[in-house]
Amino acid sequence: MHNSFSFAYYDEFDNKHIVPYKLMEYNNLMEFLFDRFAEDWGDCKARAWCGTCHIKIIKGTFKKNIDKEEQNTLSKISDADTHSRLACQILIDKNLHETIFKIIPE
């Protein structure tokens, strides 16, 4: 069993960050990044309504299907594509391990 987990992300300035995490340490990826790195997002408080936490997956997948709220919000974002997700809908679990994503600024 894994005892150490990490993911990597590129911020809005294309700086890469490698981030260790603990399983279920936060409710979702948006809350984790907001608390740890002060990303300015989350206007809808993790309800998948606003799209401010738009990310694009570079490496990795998420087994959870995208729900209708997230699909609806992503459909309204002009640069969203098949690699787009909302960070507020991604759990801090083992599926996040070794994922790489980019934060997409508004």
The DSSP secondary structure of 39-74, one letter per residue, reads: ----TTSSSSSS-TTEEEEEE----SPPPHHHHHHH
Whether pLDDT at 92 is above 60: yes
- Per-residue pLDDT averaged across 62-83, rounded? 88
Q: Structural domain boundaries of the chain?
A: 5-103
> Can you name the residues that pair with 10 across neighbouring β-strands?
16, 102
Q: What is the pLDDT of residue 2?
A: 62
> Can you name the residues that pair with 55 across neighbouring β-strands?
85, 103
Q: What is the pTM assigned to this prediction?
A: 0.89
CA dihedral 45, 87, 73, 57 (to 10 degrees): 170
- Per-residue pLDDT averaged across 86-99, rounded? 93
Instruction: Fold for 5-103, please state it.
Output: Ubiquitin-like (UB roll) (3.10.20)
Report the amino acid identity of residue 93: D
